[in-house]
Structure 1
Amino acid sequence: MAGQLPPLRSLQAFEAVGRLGSVNSAAQELGVTPGAVSQQIRLLEEHVALTLVVRDGRGLSLTPQARVYLDLVSQGFDRLRLARDYIEAQKTGAEITISGLPTLMLKWLGPRLHRFQAETPEISVRLEATHREPDSKMLDQMFRLTYGQAANRYAHSRVLFTDTCFPVCSPDFLARQPEALDPASLSQLPLVDVDWGAGYANVPRWKDWFAHVGLAPGLAPRPIGVYSLSSLALEAAASGQGIALAQAAFAEADLKMGRLVRLSDQALALPEAYYICWGPQTLGHQVARDFLNWLVQAARGNRTPND
């Protein structure tokens, strides 16, 4: 059977058993008997000429080869489910899926989204916070909020805003360390840093801030903590652990609530903008067009003169 794909029913049974951990659970999900599931597993094992499932008195387990095979098969079924959801969404047009960078979703979109939902209560909104950029071929079913050059991979994109950053800390920290208001003293105080990873090497960090205010970049000491999410760095600062280099859009709510205080009037602009991206067919529904118009309007307050 070289070159032939296994029967879809056998793959479906195998994927369900591997994901759910038992034949009975897989049978219940698939609406068949446990015997039928076991038969499909045996057919798959015959097709691939490998033992995939080992049964003992405590239940079943997958062989090492089967675990790798399951991962690959599961990716295929995940795409099939995504395709199913896409078709259903196209039929109704009553759901909007928004994928975005985690802190952008949590700290910027989240506090604003209730306004759109209040205007369109009949629309369901699905949020997916992830650093992983979606497959550009599947973007017709969603919007993507991202940063910088990542927007180039999608068919359509529009600038939302270009952010700025500045140092912040908690009110209690400032009361204990009033010298934090002096930029030259920051190098002697606990600093919280953010590192988005190699793909975002140009996002400003503390060395860039010291250079921006005219101090030697070498003044930036080893930080007390480095976080991959800006939201975690802001929480560390709000809890009094140190001073964070905060993006204005992300710190806005915490500054208004008094959880954070700004330590400098100077602001360092990020080198690239935040974008909303979409596919060729995304705007086929009126609700998607309405959401895009609403989001662009909502971003106006965060724009710099160069946007």
Structure 2
Amino acid sequence: MIVKSYLPPLRALQAFEAFGRLGSVTGAAQELGVTSGAISQQLKVLEEHLSMKLINKDGRRAALSNEALTYHKLIAEGFDRLRMAHTLVLRTKMGADLKVSGLPTLLLKWLNPLLHDIQAHLNDMPLRLEATHLEPDPNLTNDMFRLTYGSIAQRFPHARVLFTDHSFPACSPGFLKRHPEARTAEGLLRLPLIEIDWGPAYSSVPRWADWFAANGIRDATFKPVAVHSLSSSAIEAAAGGQGVVLAQRSFSRFDLDLGRLVRLSQDNLPMPEPYFVCWGDTTLNQPKAREFLNWLMATSRNYATDEQNI
């Protein structure tokens, strides 16, 4: 098998990325504004360049071959970076605003309920919030803040610790009324448990097995009723009465205050790493950026103080 050493044509890579992401030739054609025949032709060009079968066909259906899946993942990451760079340029042209990128649940459940306190001080400057798991290129953060978790913060030019969180079991009041045994670790083993899995990049984040081990039940046998990649959706499932979630305090505090969730144990399972705010070399040159950062740090200190008083 001979694979050419130079890169394939960009149009072929673009067609391949769109096909793999959207799952169909028609979808790729519509997104790129070309015909389905043009997409198929570009896919053939790429197959010939790589000397490798990329597409499997089953009747009228077509899908990536097993060999192509890893290749597509890497290609997709590259196009994600290109789209991010293009978005940053467009945002600059749209005018001065304060951009905050962050992990989705961190923005939704921790930052968003607090923003009313700072918005009055920003006057007419809008906050542009972007919820994404995709970490921005550190070289492209000069006009934004990034709220993230763990050691990945070391990639950025500047970073400060916001807080270190902890987890505990929580469920809806109605669920607890039906299942009072949820107050004990042994009782939880017999109940529907909602798992949170952030993916392999965050393998050290505590999960139910860690909770049971910390409470003296090692090698606990249980089957989650559901596994969520987003903490926010897992919390919503618990608030809806679907089961018990291992909730982070920062994400569940307002649902607890509103009575949508009930904390089942006063024991805490610490997160292994803190949350951070990160920024680029010129981010603080923007109007109001330093004021926002100072507010964010003061808010995180108040949050840490509140936790110590609980």
Q: Does the alignment reach a TM-score above 0.5?
A: yes
Bigger Cα Rg: 1
Which of 77, 92, 95 is the aligned partner of 1:86?
92
**Who is 2:63 aligned against?**
none
Matched to 2:181, the amino acid is E
The CA deviation string for residues 16-48 of structure 1, in whole angstroms up to 9 with x for no partner, is x97573xxxxxxxxxxxxxxxxxxxxxxxxxxx
The CA deviation string for residues 45-95 of structure 1, in whole angstroms up to 9 with x for no partner, is xxxxxxxx55xxxxx8643355899x9899757634523533665xxxx41
Cα distance between partner residues in 1 of 2:301 and 2:227: 31
**Who is 1:165 aligned against?**
167
CA apart distance, 1:215: 2.2
Is 1:151 the counterpart of 2:153 in the alignment?
yes
**Who is 2:200 aligned against?**
198
Is 1:127 the counterpart of 2:103 in the alignment?
no
CA apart distance, 1:286: 3.8
**Who is 1:118 aligned against?**
120
- The list of structure 1 runs, each at least 4 consecutive aligned residues, that deviate by more than 6 angstroms after superposition, is 71-75
**Who is 2:99 aligned against?**
97
Query: Contact 2:205/2:272 (CA < 8 Å) preserved in 1?
Result: yes
Q: Cα gap change, 1:232/1:211 in structure 2, threshold over 3 Å: closer, same or farther?
A: same
**Who is 2:184 aligned against?**
182
Partner SS, residue 118 of structure 1: helix
Q: Cα gap change, 1:127/1:178 in structure 2, threshold over 3 Å: closer, same or farther?
A: same
Partner SS, residue 219 of structure 1: coil
Matched to 1:111, the amino acid is P
**Who is 2:297 aligned against?**
296
**TM-score relative to the length of structure 2:** 0.73
Q: How much is the aligned-residue C-alpha RMSD, in angstroms?
A: 2.8
Q: Cα gap change, 1:180/1:271 in structure 2, threshold over 3 Å: closer, same or farther?
A: same
**Who is 1:136 aligned against?**
138
Query: For structure 2, which runs of at least 5 residues remain unmatched after alignment?
Result: 1-6, 11-28, 47-75
CA apart distance, 1:293: 0.5
Query: Contact 1:163/1:302 (CA < 8 Å) preserved in 2?
Result: no
Is 1:233 the counterpart of 2:209 in the alignment?
no
Q: Cα gap change, 1:229/1:133 in structure 2, threshold over 3 Å: closer, same or farther?
A: same
**Who is 1:40 aligned against?**
none
Matched to 2:231, the amino acid is S
**Who is 1:37 aligned against?**
none
The CA deviation string for residues 111-168 of structure 1, in whole angstroms up to 9 with x for no partner, is 0112211222311111110100001111001110000011011000000000010000
Partner SS, residue 188 of structure 1: coil
Query: For structure 1, which runs of at least 5 residues remain unmatched after alignment?
Result: 7-16, 22-52, 55-59
Cα distance between partner residues in 2 of 1:179 and 1:286: 54
Cα distance between partner residues in 2 of 1:74 and 1:215: 43
Cα distance between partner residues in 1 of 2:136 and 2:215: 38
Matched to 1:270, the amino acid is M
